């Protein structure tokens, strides 16, 4: 095995784990934005809510049952939050998309502050539940089982989302709305219901990502901004409304964050910006985004 692979094997795997987490987080953002042109700036705070739910419900050393319980609770909160966001932004549907985005920003500020108040400003760590807290030997190195699970989960969820979007009629509706919302409206589909479903599922995925990410990132203030930014970069690179794009973007960003920081430390930020810039200059709609061929 080549020497550099040996040294950086762990970072590579970490990159996949981060990428999986990012995918789960970003795919909802991408679909909501791609479908409704609503930029959900509260997406990061949903992730943070998931993380805090994990800490509050499951504690620092959760049992498997507690961990699963946290997932369920976070999921429920996610669905409710998604529906709530969908309804509030709907009231501004006639105004600009900017207003809707900024509304979600205002709500994110409120929620973020409320979380700070409820949970103070300390960094809370959560350990993986027993059974998932060990390590496994891979190529002679110990690697946490939990992160391997994350990689697996990411793959499974990607497949599920892909199948739903490509093979079901709901998925067809989602794809059609991304391609041409007005056309979908004119064939009589109530896009508000579709919007509510997509928002709810997207938010559900975000809070779930928060719980799943808790054993890796813990729960602390500031996590919402970091999560939001990374999700946005993933969506920009991958293209709006594209599941494949979200997966590809998430893996790329995951590797930049992991391998990039290991190799280049501070310069990794430059690489992030550089990747963003390169993609946008060559393909302004993202790598897998819809291309209309217009010369804009």
Partner 1 sequence: MTAAAPGAVLACTGLARAFGALRAVDGVDLSLPPGARHALIGPNGAGKSTLFKLLAGGLRPSAGRVWLDGRDVTRLSDARRARLGIGQTFQHSSLFLSMTAAENVALAAQRTLGQPWSPVPRTRVAVQRRVEQLLAEVGLAERGATAVGALSHGECRQLELAVALATAPRVLLLDEPAAGMSPAESARFAELIRKLPADITMLFVEHDLDLVFRLATRVTVLHLGKVLRSGAPEEIQGSAEVQEAYLGTGRRADLFLTDGDPGQPGARGAAEGG
Partner 2 sequence: MMRRLAPIAAVAALAVAPLVLDTYATAILTRILVYALLAASLDLLVGITGLPSLGHGAYFGTGAYAAGWLAVHVTANAPAGLAAAVVASAIVAVIAGSVCVRARGVFFLMLTLAIGEIVEQLAQSWHSVTGGSDGLYGIPAARLGATALTDVSAIAWYVLAVFVVGMAALRCIVRSPLGQALRGIRDNEARMSALGYRTYHYKLAVFVIAGAIAGLAGGLLAAQQRLVTPADLGFSSSAPILLAVIIGGEATPWGPCLGAAVVVILRDVFGPSLGGHGSFVLGAVFVATVFVMPGGLARLRRKGQGQT
Question: What does the binding site for partner 2 look like in residue numbers (CB under 8 A)?
Answer: 33, 37, 39, 91-92, 95-99, 101-103, 105-110, 112-114, 117, 225-226, 228-229, 232-233, 235-236, 240, 265-266, 269-270, 272-273, 276-277, 280-281, 284, 296
Nearer to partner 1 by C-beta: 3 or 294? Answer: 294
DSSP 265: G
Does position 94 bind partner 1 by CB under 8 A?
no
Is residue 294 a contact point for partner 1 (CB under 8 A)? yes
Specify the residue, 76 or 114, whose C-beta has the smaller distance to partner 2.
Answer: 114
Q: Which does 68 bind (CB under 5 to 8 A by kind): partner 1, partner 2, none?
A: none
Please write down the HEC assignment for all residues of 120-155: CCCCECCCCCCCCCCEEEECCEEEEHHHHHHHHHHH
Smallest gap from Cβ 151 to partner 2, in A, equals: 25
CA 164 – CA 157 distance, rounded (Å): 10
| C-beta of 19 vs 112, nearer to partner 2 | 112
Tallying the residues shown for the chain, one arrives at 296
Binding of partner 1 by 295 (CB under 8 A): yes
Three-state SS for 164-186 is HHHHCHHHHHHHHHHHCHHHHHH
| Tokens (6 digits) for 87 | 């309804």
For residues 234-293, which are near partner 1 according to CB under 8 A? 293
Nearer to partner 2 among residue 131 and residue 274 (C-beta) = 274
Angle, alpha carbons 69-71-74 (nearest 5°): 105
Q: How far is the CB of 251 from partner 1 (least distance, A)?
A: 29
Q: What are phi and psi of 288, to 5 degrees?
A: -120, 15
CB of 139 to partner 2, least distance (A): 30
Q: From CA 81, how far away is CA 272, in angstroms rounded?
A: 30
Residue 33 binding target from partner 1, partner 2, none, CB below 5 to 8 Å by type? partner 2
Q: Is residue 182 a contact residue for partner 1 (CB under 8 A)?
A: no
Provide the b/e sequence for 235-274 (b: ≥16 CB within 10 Å).
bbbbbbbbbebbbbbbbbbbbbbbbbbbeeeeebeebbee
Which residues bind to partner 1, rule: CB under 8 A? Answer: 293-295
């Amino acid at each position: 095995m080549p020497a550099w692979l040996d040294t950086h094997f762990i970072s590579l795997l970490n990159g996949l784990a981060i990428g999986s987490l990012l995918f789960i987080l970003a795919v909802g953002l991408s679909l909501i934005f791609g479908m409704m042109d609503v930029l959900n700036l509260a997406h990061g705070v949903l992730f943070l809510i998931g993380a805090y739910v994990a800490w509050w419900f499951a504690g620092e050393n959760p049992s498997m049952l507690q961990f699963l319980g946290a997932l369920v609770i976070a999921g429920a909160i996610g669905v409710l939050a998604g529906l709530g966001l969908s309804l509030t932004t709907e009231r501004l549907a006639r105004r600009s998309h900017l207003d809707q985005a900024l509304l979600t920003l205002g709500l994110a500020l409120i929620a973020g502050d409320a979380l700070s108040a409820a949970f103070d400003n300390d960094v809370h760590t959560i350990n993986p539940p027993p059974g998932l807290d060990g390590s496994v030997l891979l190529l002679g190195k110990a690697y946490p089982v939990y992160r391997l699970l994350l990689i697996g989960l990411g793959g499974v969820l990607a497949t599920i989302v892909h199948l739903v979007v490509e093979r079901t009629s709901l998925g067809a509706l989602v794809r059609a709305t991304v391609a041409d919302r007005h056309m979908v409206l004119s064939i009589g589909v109530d896009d508000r219901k579709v919007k509510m479903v997509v928002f709810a599922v997207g938010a559900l995925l975000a809070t779930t990502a928060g719980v799943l990410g808790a054993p890796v990132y813990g729960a602390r203030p500031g996590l919402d901004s970091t999560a939001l930014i990374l999700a946005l970069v993933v969506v920009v690179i991958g293209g709006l409304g594209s599941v494949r794009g979200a997966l590809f973007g998430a893996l790329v960003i995951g590797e930049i964050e992991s391998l990039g920081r290991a190799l280049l430390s501070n310069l990794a930020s430059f690489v992030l910006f550089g990747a963003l810039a390169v993609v946008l200059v060559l393909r302004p709609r993202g790598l897998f985004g819809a291309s209309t061929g217009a010369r804009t």
